[in-house]
């Protein structure tokens, strides 16, 4: 009867070991798990399921590993994930501030073109990521506004023109 119960309980217990189901989305990102490929994530879930199954069957940790060791490793991994998430939050890709920027493009401006970089007077450099164009646009030290959009997108608009272009910060 006990063997039958284990045959039913162990697979169900192993299915609950998916890391995506055990942590919040924020914890998942903070631990850096969002950087894993699908194959790597599947392998991690297999390892978790195997280890949970072994613990369920034996109720003792593997030889030479104490509960304190496991807790210390988990705490260390969490701290590393928090540090990495904090570093990512301050990186250019996540743009530390979501406030609009008003500045000027240093030097000559000759319109929009995909891949073109725009250096602003405040030292920031932005690269155009879409195919927007402005026909016949010319000027020196033209005023611009860079504003945040939905889902991390940034938009650059030159004063005097209605067209705006999608940009990403380079530095």
**Rounded to two decimals, what is the model's pTM?**
0.46
pLDDT at 97: 74
Which residues does residue 103 pair with via DSSP β-bridges, in sequence order? Answer: 144
Q: Contact, 111 vs 134, CB < 8 A? A: yes
pLDDT at 63: 67
- Residues 6+ positions from 102 with CB-CB distance below 8 Å: 143, 144, 145
- Residues 6+ positions from 104 with CB-CB distance below 8 Å: 120, 121, 141, 142, 143, 144
Would you give per-residue pLDDT tens digits along the chain (171 residues)? 444 444 554 454 445 568 888 888 888 888 888 888 888 888 888 888 876 655 554 555 666 667 777 788 888 888 887 777 666 655 554 445 789 999 999 999 999 999 999 999 999 999 999 999 988 888 999 999 999 998 889 999 999 999 999 999 998
CA distance 74 to 122: 43
């Amino acid at each position: 009867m006990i063997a039958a119960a284990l045959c039913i309980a162990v697979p169900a217990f192993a299915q609950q070991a998916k890391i995506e189901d055990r942590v919040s989305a924020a914890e998942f990102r903070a631990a850096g798990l969002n950087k894993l490929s699908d194959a790597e994530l599947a392998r991690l879930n297999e390892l978790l399921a195997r280890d949970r199954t072994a613990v369920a069957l034996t109720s003792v940790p593997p030889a030479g590993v104490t509960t304190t060791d496991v807790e210390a490793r988990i705490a260390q991994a969490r701290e590393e994930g928090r540090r990495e998430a904090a570093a990512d939050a301050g990186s250019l890709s996540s743009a530390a501030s979501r406030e609009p920027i008003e500045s000027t493009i240093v030097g000559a401006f000759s319109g929009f073109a995909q891949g073109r970089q725009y250096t602003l007077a405040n030292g920031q450099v932005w690269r155009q990521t879409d195919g927007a164009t402005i026909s016949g646009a010319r000027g020196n030290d033209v005023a611009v506004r860079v504003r945040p959009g939905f889902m991390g997108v940034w938009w650059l608009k030159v004063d005097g023109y209605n067209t705006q272009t999608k940009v990403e910060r380079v530095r």
